[in-house]
Amino acid sequence: MVIFGNEQILTKMKNMTITEAQKFVDNWINKHGVRYFNVLTNMAMLTEEVGEVARVIARTHGEQSFKKSDKGKDLGEELADVMFVLICIANQTGINLEKAFLKNIEKKDKRDKTRHKRNPKLK
């Protein structure tokens, strides 16, 4: 697998942190794109990409059948599209996703440590 035609980039990305991924996307946008799309456009694109994830899951794990246009769709690729646009939104709004994610996990750890284990619906 070669990303953007450069094997060195792939090697560098294998153990990338979220912060490094944000920097990578920013560098890629500045090198290959004209600029970031505005936040509202990226939000619409994020919604579109999440819809593509839902479509793959509905056909692979749900009851919907595949259409010709669905064949060959890869869940990993669709999730990566979501991640790319999410990183774009974080970059252009000044969010450090790594810090925000860690803060979110701390919140969940405090709030939900035993909550799900006590939920009779999950047993």
The pLDDT tens digits of the residues spanning 12-41 come to 677 899 999 999 999 999 999 889 999 999
* CA–CA distance, 40 with 82 (Å, rounded to integer): 15
Instruction: Provide the whole-model pTM.
Output: 0.83
Per DSSP, the three-state class of 15 is: coil
Per DSSP, the three-state class of 35 is: coil
Q: Please provide the distance, in angstroms rounded to a whole number, between the alpha carbons at the two ends of the chain.
A: 41
| 31 falls within a domain | yes
| 123 falls within a domain | no
| 115 falls within a domain | no
- Express each pLDDT in 55-93 by its tens digit: 999 999 999 888 888 888 999 999 999 999 999 999 999
Boundaries of domain holding 84:
16-96
